[in-house]
Structure 1
């Protein structure tokens, strides 16, 4: 009887040892399967280890582990950056994506939002349901923006405008209908810009007294002096003054070099011209004389012819001795 009891205990012990071996073998098989990536859940490229049911269990270096919910199940996904609504945290053990606060649409960390969900407005990294005093909310930007003055379109605060309303000019954070003194409107930039006034240099020395480009042969002439424009004015700046001046001058009259030769040439030309003129007049006078003589000769011939005709007519009226008839 005692021998049978001992045999039964040994049989049970052997069975327990066999079952434990099977269980340990199955666990080692699953671990080996997860580490080697033999299952279909390891097809995602960033996984370091994975399982069929839970997807990625760990990621390759520098990648973030993100848990995606599919129904009641969460699947691990390895990503280079976290999706909107999550921020990444790094640690020696693993890099993970952590969900932002409920009012944040995106965030830099758990305490600093970068964009808010609808109904909240960003201010200094926080998402608020109402903006602080002196600020108003912008639905388009989902931010709290400064309450600008009536003339201002965009501003840093109530005293500093960055963009004026149409038709106004900006200057040092303020908006103007008419620019202040020493400033002028720039319609292209819609800003008040500093006026630029004309600047000129020093006067030059007076030029020598001259007349018609000559410096001799006259007594009364003119002197001139000039100065350069150093800075041209802006449209509303002070215009430039005169940059040249002229004044009358007197000099002791002196003969220009070569003037005598010019005078002699001029006199010779005049003499020649007079001779030519006299010669032409003599030719014309002789021509007129010939014409008068010719006319006088023609008149004399005509008178002779007339007298001859008259004589012939008188003779024809006398009686012919042959027939005794009066013609």
Structure 2
């Protein structure tokens, strides 16, 4: 009975020694495969190394190689830094570098911010903006060219001369229109927004209020008043000459027709004889 009990004790001791040796062997193999690997990491790492930093990241974190002097250290970040974009896969989430002319990007083919000297246009970085676009140096992007837009012309103002609307025949009237949209730097400039033209009205006498204005104008320097008087005289003379020429023309035409009538009558009488 004692012999049997001793045998069982020896078997148990041998089993424990075998288990300890297997565990030690697995630990040695693990150290040879991943030297210095730790599972008690900080900063989002799932596994890490004293020499290489993060080796893998926790879920939803992005693995990024950060330069530290002459070597690169793995770090795990919630978002990729400027100049990189994140990619997700079942194996690992990691940060990929944007294109050389891109300072920030959504993915490999879509840039969201360009480096100095380039302008953003539909996800691409361009040195020269395409047609109908112009560079915006504040946002560093290509924006549409804006052309000038003007409204409709207003009605012509009443015909006037030197601020009055009576006592003359020929004056001036004007009209205007508003700028609805100002052009951008490369847009079409605005056309003229005011126009003036000569107008002719039937001469009429000024009322009392207008006469008072005329009396005030008489107080002006004689030189200015004489200039206005001479201008009015020239206008009056021109109108008189025009009417005289028209009357002479009508008289000449009347005499010509009268002479033609007499000639036809004389010819008819001769034919009767």
Q: Which structure has the highest helix share of the two?
A: 2
Structure with greater contact order relative to length (CA < 8 Å, sep ≥ 6) = 2
Give the structure-1-normalised TM-score.
0.40
Give the structure-2-normalised TM-score.
0.47
Structure label with greater radius of gyration: 1
